[in-house]
Structure 1
Amino acid sequence: MTKKRQAYSFSRTCLALAGLAILAGCATAPGVAPKDTGWVRDEVSDSYVFGFPLVLMDVSREAATGNAPGQAAPNTLRHAQSLPPVGASKPPEPNLDTLGSTGWLDLDSGPVLVSLPDSRGRYMDARALDMWTNVLWSTGTQVGEHGGGLKAQTIAFVPAGWKGTLPARAQRIEVATRYVWFLARVETRGGGDLAAARKLQRAIRVAPLSTWDEHGGHGAEPAFTGASQSGDPVAPGTPASRVASLDANAFFDRLSQSLSDNPSTPDDSHALKILADIGVRPGDAVQFPSDAKDAAAAGYADGRTRVATPPSNLLAGNGWLWVGDEAGDYGPDYALRAYAAYMQPGLPKTSDEVRARVSLDSDGHPLNGANRYVIHFTAKQLPPVRGFWSITAYTADGALDAHAPVRVAFGDRTGARRNRDGSLDVQVSAERPRGVANWVNAPHGDFRLVMRLYAPKHTAVDGSWQPPVVERR
Structure 2
Amino acid sequence: MYKKIAIACAASLLVSHIRAATPHYPDALETIPTTTENINAGLELDAYQTGLLAYIWGYPLVRMERVAREYSDVSGPQSPTSYRAPLNQIGWAATVATADAKDMPTPNNDTAYMSAVVKLDEPFILHVPDTNDRYYVVDVFDMWQNLQHYVGRRATGTKPGDYALVPPEWNGQLPEGVKRLDVSTNKVWLWGRMRAIEGEDLAPMHALQKQFTLRPLSHWKDTNYAPVAAALPPLPAIEGDEFGFFTHLAAALKSNAVPAQDAALFGQFARIGLTKNGFDRSKLTPPQRKGLLRALADGPKVAVSALATSTVDRNGWSWSTGLDNFGYDYPLRALVAGPYLGGNGEKEAMYPLRSTDAQGNQLAGGKNYMIRFVKAPPVNAFWSLTVYDATDKLLVENPIHRYKLGSGTKGLNVRADGSVEVRMQNAPPSGDAANWLPTPKGPFYVILRLYQPTDEVLSGKYELPQVEPVQ
RMSD of aligned alpha carbons: 3.1
Alignment identity in percent? 27
Show the counterpart of 1:260. 254
1:56-75 to 2 correspondence within 5 Å?
56-66=63-73, 68-69=75-76, 70=78, 72-75=85-88
CA distance in 2, matches of 1:403, 1:90: 19
Stretches of structure 1 lacking an aligned partner (at least 5 in a row): 1-7, 18-29, 223-238
Contact 2:164–2:178 (Cα < 8 Å) also in 1: yes
CA distance in 1, matches of 2:422, 2:302: 34
Shift of 1:216: 5.6
Equivalenced residues, count: 427
Distance 1:377 1:283, change over 3 A: same
What is the DSSP-based 3-state SS (H/G/I as helix, E as strand, rest coil) of the residue aligned with 2:309? coil
Show the counterpart of 1:412. 407
Contact 2:395–2:403 (Cα < 8 Å) also in 1: no
Kindly provide the CA deviation profile for residues 155-179 of structure 1, in whole angstroms up to 9, marking residues without a partner as x.
Answer: 1111122111212211111122111
Task: Kindly name which structure, 1 or 2, has the bigger radius of gyration based on alpha carbons.
Answer: 2
Contact 2:116–2:190 (Cα < 8 Å) also in 1: yes
Q: Is 1:78 paired with 2:86?
A: no
Distance 1:245 1:347, change over 3 A: farther
Shift of 1:11: 8.9
Show the counterpart of 1:23. none
Show the counterpart of 2:111. 98
Distance 1:188 1:293, change over 3 A: same
Shift of 1:335: 1.0
Contact 1:45–1:301 (Cα < 8 Å) also in 2: no
1:118 aligned to which of 126, 130, 135: 130
Show the counterpart of 1:304. 300
Shift of 1:275: 1.9
Show the counterpart of 2:333. 337
TM-score when normalising by structure 2: 0.82
- Matched residue type, 1:426: V
- Matched residue type, 1:166: L
Show the counterpart of 2:310. 313
Distance 1:218 1:422, change over 3 A: farther
TM-score when normalising by structure 1: 0.81
Show the counterpart of 2:213. 205
Distance 1:89 1:407, change over 3 A: farther
Show the counterpart of 2:451. 454
Show the counterpart of 1:249. 243
CA distance in 2, matches of 1:449, 1:218: 44
Shift of 1:85: 3.9
Q: Is 1:468 paired with 2:462?
A: no
Shift of 1:367: 2.2
Show the counterpart of 1:434. 431
Q: Is 1:282 paired with 2:292?
A: no
Shift of 1:67: 5.2
Contact 1:278–1:288 (Cα < 8 Å) also in 2: no
Distance 1:387 1:283, change over 3 A: farther
CA distance in 1, matches of 2:218, 2:86: 16
Kindly provide the CA deviation profile for residues 62-83 of structure 1, in whole angstroms up to 9, marking residues without a partner as x.
Answer: 2222451255322101221123
CA distance in 1, matches of 2:142, 2:303: 19
Kindly provide the CA deviation profile for residues 266-324 of structure 1, in whole angstroms up to 9, marking residues without a partner as x.
Answer: 21122211222322112423347522211222222222321233341213222222321
Deviates more, 1:403-412 or 1:175-184: 403-412
Shift of 1:370: 3.6
